Structure 1
Amino acid sequence: MAPKMNNSTTSSRLVTEMVKGSHEFKIKGYSLVKGIGVGKFIESETFNVGGYGWAIHFYPDGKEPQVNAVYISVFVALVSNDKDVPAKFEIAMHDQRGIAKDFVLGHFDGSLMKTLHTISVGELWGFTRFYKRFHLEHSMYLNDDCLQLNCTVGVFPTTIDRSMAIQVPESTIGAHFGMLFEDDESSDVTFCVEGDKFRAHKIVLAARSTVFKTQFFSGMDKFDGEILVTDMKPKVFKALLHFIYNDTLEQAEEFYLSQSSFMSSLSELFIVKLLAAAHQYDLPRLKLICESVLCKHISIDSVAHIMALSERYVASELKSICLQFATENLDAVMKSDGFKHLKETCPVLQFELLKSVAAIVERAKPSGSVDTDETPMPNEIDAETSSYNPSSDEEDDIPD
């Protein structure tokens, strides 16, 4: 069956609004800069308009040789590292005595055509023949040897109205891999589990499990036919494959715990069998999922049994929580049937539990205190529990 595609309708709107800003550049001591030479300028501080950096360049002796120091030249420079910035400009000299009006050239007052000018970093916009120097020096624009220039920049940033943004659908890779699990035609390996056959894809299994990767691509044996699985039930193997392709459990959590009475046959629970399968095929995430399910059912009666399972399948997260719970409820746990079972089947765990208790007792001691008969040591908690003596080989496996 072809995968179902998500249909979506998208639209966007172009928003163009001019952002204007001005900068005032006072040149105090005009007589001191006059005569610096044609093509030489003094620069204003950088100012920001529309997210771009700008500066005013003032040429007291003119920018080009052909003006022969007859005109002053004034330009606007884009100094930020951008290109093709659409903008409008205006350069003005203020009448500092307020007798006449300002001298203005640019796009905003109608003195120039109201068209956009595109400018890039290092480029200039302005006037080589801005004003005759003789007239300037005898005008109201120069007062107390001070000249006041003003530059206005209008920038047209182009943006997309985010309220009309393109909606990206959720990832469908999980669903597609799930459908691949149901696709028998493209499969290249078959598993036979108690008469039930499951078809799969070597490359998918190898990508998810180092065990399958070694089995299929170690260069030793070739698996062109069926692979017989003798240590697992069909339902468990199907759930294992479902996780490999979908990264989720096949059923709701309750399904895995409703197969039998929890305490009467813990090892027969589906979730425990799935934990064993996850351990066997090196699927860490599936192991943690199974551990999280079992963790919710830790109790006084079950903790010892679950702790034994965690030891068997190297479920370290589950084991740590079991040890913590058992330590905090030691008296009740030691009276449970599960604890008796633990002593018979896994004495190493019993030893670890007592070490946890000893650590708590040690932390509870006041600083500098001395042991008394009222402070129980681990071997005083239960005389029967202190009879276990690990062999020299086992001692190497007992954590400090």
Structure 2
Amino acid sequence: MAAVRASTIKDDAQPTRTVCLALKIADTERHHAMARAGGDGNQDYIPARSFTVLGYEWQIDYDPDGHHPNHVERYVKLRVPSRVLRPMAEVAAVCPRFRQGDSKEVPLVSRAVLEASGHLGRDGNCFVQCKMELSCGERAGLPPRDLGQDLGDLLRSQNGADVTFVVGAASFRAHRLLLTARSPVFAAELAGSLTDETHRIKDMDADTFRALLLFIYTDTLPPQLEHMDRWLGTWKEDQEAVSMARRLLDAADRYGVERLKVICEKKACVSVGVGTVAADLVLAERRGYRKLKARCIEFLVASPADLHAVAAAGGFKLLEASCPSVLTQIVTAVAARNCQLLGLGRR
């Protein structure tokens, strides 16, 4: 019998929930002996007790010596009875039979690989974690939520737009009702203004304003920021993302879009480097971005080589001219770090 522990993780930003199942696998030696004696372990699943998650009845059966459809060797397999599932891409790639409408079996790993891995305990037990994502809409037989997509289409189509913003040489049509609901600054600026009035935005580029509108309408980031911390693109694309994170942080702060502000400050923190740290400190000190300021000082204190590189590039001159008090904080932090290292060296 496989013992099951189920837990639910809810992400309010996504229309899905993740269910994590930890199965304690027992009785594997019985099945292994059965296979050696010529029995077919594939026909003898070990049933797990049923359990309820997200209003659904679930059961996962376990076979420690099943057949893989494309291999001769024995495989550890799972079976999910009476459920129609769409497998994750990595599962579908290695298990052709596990398709929508046919969720009978999921080969996990060959017995030989499992026994050589060291994950099988002396008592023949091991643990398997199953991760399933359920669409919240599917629970009620409804299609997925698409409010963000619909509002994005509304922004792109400009249907019913009643206010125009001019940013440099570009113009943007938008909907004052949605802007005032999402931004207290827009609410104040647009209060009492005439329909179809034009507003000129200063000290902001068109790409940044476009990204700001996208987030206000859809709660999503532009592509270059969406996976900025992974950085799989070219160096040029990385630099564009670094710049956009800081410009969009400034725009979010300016218009009071707090969620976007928090997200962009985190993006700025993960991209602090020799080329940005001085300007980041000036920005953080002037705007009160405490997390970004702390990250910049941490970056400078952590590496003497980076500290010298910033000084050689004129970063400290910028700080001296713009916010000299920050220089004092950096010197204090570096001194404290050196004292800590010297103290450890004496022990």
Greater share of residues in helix: 2
Bigger radius of gyration, 1 or 2?
A: 1
Provide TM-score, normalisation by structure 2. 0.48
Larger relative contact order (Cα-Cα within 8 Å, sequence gap ≥ 6)? 1
